[in-house]
């Protein structure tokens, strides 16, 4: 049987998603648990939708593998990794071939011009060569951004980037330019020229800890939700912590 599982994880607790020798990674911890419980063999065709960087979290990354037994139950009690959904899939299913991925960046608003950031973000929508806004490897640097939604929540501003695929550091480098524009340190014309390859400029890379892979979407696959006891407990703790912080006067 082949299964697809939506996983959430706290990226601050791992050295990235992909397995690395002698380092704690999301993939490494999942494989260790599955093998320990005898759910998979070496030829399990373990695959994933996104290889998130160190510090980047997820609410809906997708893994898939061939297994026997109840893989969901086996993975429910992991630390810093939570199972949020599952689906039985075709033997040929590869989670990389998705309809879209949605990344969200959380930014604390300590004086940014949000309207200017909204205007600048529209420059990246559509199909572009993102060579100047990514860490380039052997892959084609042309990518298509379907949409960028920005929500001003007062102290926090969220940026949702939707596309079929992204390059290494692409969202964080786009955010670097958007944040500079929000500080009035760069204008639209310069960002446009860099995007179109007419000018070179380093806008910096936004910190990874604020970036979250929100979801990976597919055609014709419906995930069954999983209610994680550990996740609910952790979420309740932070909700109470935020409420507690509002009641404390700091002198």
Question: What are the φ/ψ torsions at residue 209 (nearest 5 degrees)?
Answer: -65, -20
Q: Is 116 exposed, middle or buried (0-12, 13-18, 19+ CB in 10 A)?
A: middle
The single residue of 10, 22, 42, 53 carrying the catalytic annotation is 53
CB 135 within 8 A of CB 169: yes
Q: Compute CA distances 196 → 16, 35, 40, 68, 190, whole Å.
A: 31, 48, 47, 50, 10
Active site residue 160: no
Please report where in the chains the tokens 């990794």 appear, as a residue: 81
CA pair distance 115, 99, nearest whole angstrom? 30
C-alpha dist (Å) from residue 66 to 31, 41, 217? 12, 8, 20
Enzyme catalytic residues: 53
């Amino acid at each position: 049987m082949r299964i697809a599982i939506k996983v959430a994880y706290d990226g601050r607790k791992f050295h990235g998603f992909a397995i690395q020798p002698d380092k704690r990674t999301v993939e490494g911890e999942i494989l260790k648990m599955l093998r320990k419980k005898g759910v998979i063999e070496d030829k399990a065709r373990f695959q994933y939708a996104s290889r998130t960087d160190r510090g980047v979290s997820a609410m809906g990354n997708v893994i898939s593998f061939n297994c026997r037994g109840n893989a969901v139950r086996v993975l429910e009690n992991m630390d810093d990794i939570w199972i949020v959904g599952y689906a039985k899939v075709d033997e040929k299913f590869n989670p990389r071939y998705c309809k879209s991925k949605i990344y969200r960046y959380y930014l604390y608003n300590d004086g940014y011009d949000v309207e200017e950031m909204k205007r600048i973000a529209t420059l990246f929508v559509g199909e572009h060569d993102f060579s100047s806004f990514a860490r380039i490897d052997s892959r084609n640097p042309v990518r298509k951004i379907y949409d960028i939604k920005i929500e001003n929540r007062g102290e926090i501003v969220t940026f949702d980037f939707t596309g079929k695929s992204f390059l290494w550091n692409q969202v964080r480098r786009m955010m670097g330019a958007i944040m500079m524009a929000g500080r009035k340190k760069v204008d639209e014309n310069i960002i446009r020229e860099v995007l179109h390859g007419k000018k070179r400029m380093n806008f910096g890379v936004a910190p990874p800890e604020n970036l979250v892979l929100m979801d990976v979407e597919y055609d014709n696959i419906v995930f069954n939700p999983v209610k994680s006891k550990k996740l609910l407990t952790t979420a309740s703790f932070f909700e109470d912590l935020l409420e507690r912080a509002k009641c404390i006067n700091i002198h």
